[in-house]
Structure 1
Amino acid sequence: MRKNNIKRIPSISFALALAFITFVACSSDSVDDGVIDDSTTDDSDVDDEVVTELHAAYSAFNSDAVTIYLDGSEVVIETTGLPNHETVYWGEGNSLYKEEPDVALTPSIMSSNNNAYTIRVDATPDLTGSTVQTELGTVGIAVSGSSIFNDQEGGGALDQAAASLDWTGAHIGPGVYHYHLEPKAFTNDDDNLVGILLDGVFLYGRKCSATGDYPTDLDASGGHTSTTQYTDGEEEYHYHIINEVYSTTGSYLAFAGPYQGY
């Protein structure tokens, strides 16, 4: 019996060893499978990019009139609508009143008008969708704090109301004080920031800071992609006032559209 037991020991040891190897191999496979699954899960669970600070260009806005802050993925821009430059529309007696005898004044002046306005724009414009036509009313907020309108006035072409525009391409009516033409109070044949439009895309003057000259690659909206003075060397899509004189005004439309960032 003892002899038989001795003969069985190698058989039992071999069986145990085989079982142990099989167990280890299966355990290793399970661990490897777990690692692969974890890496796959990590790749699929990447969070969307969150905007945590305002674009540097917002620092150029008139802080006496404009309050700007982030709200989730949007930027909220609240403005009194009151510009920080001279115009006949301030009315006599105001320190910013400017005599402009050739302007056919509309009935309202700044002090008798509610110019306050609030817009919300995407912190990161969506440039993948279709273009959207501008409508009557505010199409953006200028760095001065006042509104930007398109090339229409009261349902008709702007040139019908051009006589009421002040020296910086703006007037009151209907509604808030607003610019239609190149606002010479803060951009005059240069690359200065003009404002932000409703699609979250910035609008600049007629020249491009990347080249120091008029851009030659603008799309139908006056937009292109290049660096600006606020992008720290990174290229970004933005609009320019198109360097084409509008009608008989002797000046340039601020923005006619369409929007590219909706």
Structure 2
Amino acid sequence: MTKSLFHLALIFVFLLTSCGNDDNNNNNNNDTDTDTDTDNETGIDGGIATPISAFDEFNPKAVTVSFDGNEIIIESNGLPNHTSPYWPEDNPLHIDKVANNTEVQSPGRIGERSYELTVSSAPELAATGTTTGLGAIGISVSGGPIFNDLEGDNRPIEEVIVENFDYAGAHNGPSGYHYHIESFDVPENTTLSFDDEQLVGILSDGFLLYGRREVDGSYPADLDASGGHFGTTTHSNGVEFYHYHIINEYYFGNVIPLFAGQLQGTPNTIL
């Protein structure tokens, strides 16, 4: 082989190798771009994302959480992971009435139901609030749905209705077992928020709902009419984001609604 042909062959090999390396680099970059970093503190349009670690609190036997682009899908079978007199009597989680409740119970027993809520990974405050309606307005950490402070005929919770609640702040109805009020402080309550900073659930506008207190044990002093504010939580890694608290106001001396205001974000349908 002549010297010039040898040089041409070397140049050809070099170019071929360089093209191959470029392809490999491009492939690696594409893989990186398609990875989803669930620990990011920013979401769509630079908004503050919902802390992904909060979903670790949800009952894994009832709730499935998945991520699809800028959306979070929360699915639940509605079966809580705590005891209640509303479980069928042959269920291991069945107990008798507890706390200051009477023997009065609403008809029906806890059974499997399907709930699905899709929210933005970085929900934003809306220009105006939205009044909640009857039915599920959120999904709790136990898997049961969260209702507002109204009953089936749109009347506020009354003392006679409070008698139907178990220690978890829930009762049964035509739409199944659901929560209206904060749980009672009784020995049986080992999983639900009571006068603390624990996560309660997520509401249909994508904002998380926490207990009455801040992380430092104080009651928040800057809540809006819905119980919301920007602040840190047990899941936010020091980053402030908008979330709700149970408002520290009692009905009838000893019960507190989980949520009685307007949703401050854009509500999504709970299927």
- TM range, normalised to the smaller chain? 0.7 to 0.9
- TM superposition shift of 1:54: 6.6
Q: Flag structure 2 segments of 5+ consecutive residues without an equivalent.
A: 1-43, 267-271
Contact kept in structure 2, 1:115 and 1:176, CA below 8 Å: yes
Instruction: Quote the Cα distance in structure 2 between the aligned partners of 1:52 and 1:106.
Output: 39
Report deviation, 1:52.
10
**Counterpart position of 2:174:** 174
2:80 alignment partner, one of 83, 92, 110: 83
RMSD: 2.1
Range that drifts further, 176-185 or 136-145: 176-185
Corresponding residue of 1:189: 195
TM (norm. structure 1) is 0.76
Q: CA deviation at 1:116?
A: 2.1
Contact 1:140/1:149 (CA < 8 Å) preserved in 2?
A: yes
Larger radius of gyration: 1
Instruction: State whether structure 2 residue 137 is matched by structure 1 residue 127.
Output: no
Q: Note if contact 1:50-1:73 (Cα within 8 Å) is conserved in structure 2.
A: no
Q: Which of 251, 255, 258 does residue 251 from structure 1 map onto?
A: 255
1:183/1:254 contact within 8 Å kept:
no
Pick one of 143, 151, 172 that aligns with 2:149.
151
Name 2:265's counterpart in structure 1.
261
Per the alignment, in what secondary structure is the counterpart of residue 203 of structure 1? strand
Residue 205 in structure 1 maps to residue 211 in structure 2 = yes
Instruction: Calculate percent identity across the aligned residue pairs.
Output: 44
Counterpart in 1 of 2:139? Answer: 141
Deviation beyond 6 Å, 4+ runs, structure 1: 50-54
Aligned-residue offset at 1:225:
1.0
Letter in 1 for 2:180: H
Equivalent residues of 1:54, 1:70 under 8 A apart: no
Q: Is the 8 A contact 1:54 1:69 kept in 2?
A: no
Write the distance in 1 (CA, Å) between the matches of 2:254 and 2:97.
17
CA–CA separation in structure 2 for the residues paired with 1:175 and 1:84: 19
Provide structure 1 residue ranges, at least 5 long, that are not aligned to the other structure: 1-46
Letter in 1 for 2:161: A
Indicate the SS of the match to 2:178: strand
**Residue type of the alignment partner of 2:263:** Y
Q: Distance in 2 between matches of 1:51 and 1:245?
A: 32
Alignment deviations for residues 69-89 of structure 1 (CA, whole Å, 9 cap, x no partner): 112322111101000000000
More helix by share: 1
Range with greater deviation from structure 2 (89-98 or 159-168): 159-168
Shift of 1:129: 2.5
1:62-105 deviation per Cα after TM superposition (whole angstroms, max 9, x unaligned): 01100001123221111010000000000212111110172421
Compute the TM-score of the two structures, normalised by the length of structure 2: 0.73
Partners of 2:174 and 2:205 in 1: how far apart? 22
- 1:140 Cα offset (Å): 0.4
CA contact (8 A) 2:63 2:143 kept: yes
Residues 1-262 of structure 1: matches in 2 within 5 Å?
A: 48=45, 55-100=52-97, 102-110=102-110, 113-154=111-152, 155-159=154-158, 160-184=160-184, 185=189, 186-209=192-215, 211-246=216-251, 248=252, 250-262=254-266
Distance 1:176 1:200 in 2: 22
1:153 shift after superposition: 0.6
Offset of residue 228 of structure 1: 0.7
The one-letter code matched in structure 2 to 1:146 is: G
1:105-130 superposed Cα distances (whole Å, 9 cap, x missing partner)? 122111xx442211111211111421
Q: Which residue of 2 aligns with 1:23?
A: none
Question: Do the aligned partners of 1:162 and 1:249 also contact (CA within 8 Å) in 2?
Answer: no
Q: Deviations over 1:186-236 (max 9, x none)?
A: 111110000000000000001011x32111111000011111110111011
In the alignment of these two chains, the number of paired residues is 212
Q: Is the 8 A contact 2:62 2:77 kept in 1?
A: yes
